A and B are shown apart, each in its own frame.
Chain A
């Protein structure tokens, strides 16, 4: 069966510091992968998606970037965090019907 991991689970970072969030998927090959952000009490905002290694599409211009160095690894990064980057970051992979399966999430607080 497929599983999706994210780490860290929680993170508190000062403004201007770098960020690296990691997502890995097990039990499937060449999945479509997605990064979402959910601000407190809000809906989901798609940040990036990837259909293969090295292929990244950005949905929202911002100070975040994403990379996919391996088939089942998706990384979200920033060189300098902003207060507005605080939120709940969710990674997801898509199944056959494009049904998305979400990881447990990373709760980021920028102070």
Chain B
């Protein structure tokens, strides 16, 4: 059974600081996704990582994927309050004939304080 583990689950940061959220998964996969959820809202897609070594950046967020280590990271640079949200990683466990049944981590609740 595929397991997706995120850490930390809770993260309190000061504005201007850098930090990294980790996503480990337990089986072979080359498809990993990052989502953001604001309180009371739905999920918003942030990044799609589809190969080993993939790196995507958007603003202060950068995501990377190491399929050999079964690890993805979401790096936050110079955090600002607007980044406060819960971040989920999700893994597609199927090779080839995928049906997109993603397995989600438990989420990392990020709070950025002045």
- A43-B107, A97-B31, A99-B33 as given contacts; A49 in contact with B42, CB under 8 Å: no
- A49-B99, A90-B42 as given contacts; A98 in contact with B105, CB under 8 Å: no
Closest to A92 in B: B43
Q: How many residues of B contact A (CB 8 A)?
A: 23
Closest to A51 in B: B99
9-residue interface stretch from A67-75, A79-87, A102-110 = A102-110
Interface assignment of A64: CB less than 8 Å from any CB of chain B: no
Q: A96 to B44: give the CA distance in the assembly, Å.
A: 17
Closest to A49 in B: B101
A32 touches B100 (CB 8 A): yes
- A32-B100, A102-B43 as given contacts; A97 in contact with B105, CB under 8 Å: no
B104 touches A44 (CB 8 A): yes
Q: How large is the interface on A (under 10, 10 to 19, 20 to 34, 35 or more residues)?
A: 20 to 34
Q: Which residues of A contact B35 (CB under 8 A)?
A: 102
B101 touches A59 (CB 8 A): yes
B102 touches A46 (CB 8 A): yes
- A42-B106, A43-B104, A97-B50 as given contacts; A102 in contact with B33, CB under 8 Å: no
- A43-B107, A90-B43, A103-B42 as given contacts; A98 in contact with B102, CB under 8 Å: yes
Q: Which residues of A contact B88 (CB under 8 A)?
A: 43-44
A100 touches B33 (CB 8 A): yes
| Smallest CB separation, B99 vs chain A (Å) | 6
A34 touches B42 (CB 8 A): no
| Smallest CB separation, A67 vs chain B (Å) | 18
Interface assignment of A7: CB less than 8 Å from any CB of chain B: no
A99 touches B101 (CB 8 A): no
| Smallest CB separation, A46 vs chain B (Å) | 6
Residues of chain B in range 77-114 having any CB-CB distance to chain A below 8 Å: 88, 90, 92, 98-107
B105 touches A32 (CB 8 A): no
Q: A90 to B99: give the CA distance in the assembly, Å.
A: 18
Provide 14 A-B residue pairs closer than 8 Å at the C-beta atoms, listed in order of the A residue.
Answer: A34-B101, A44-B88, A49-B101, A51-B99, A90-B42, A94-B100, A97-B31, A98-B31, A98-B92, A99-B33, A100-B33, A100-B90, A101-B45, A105-B41
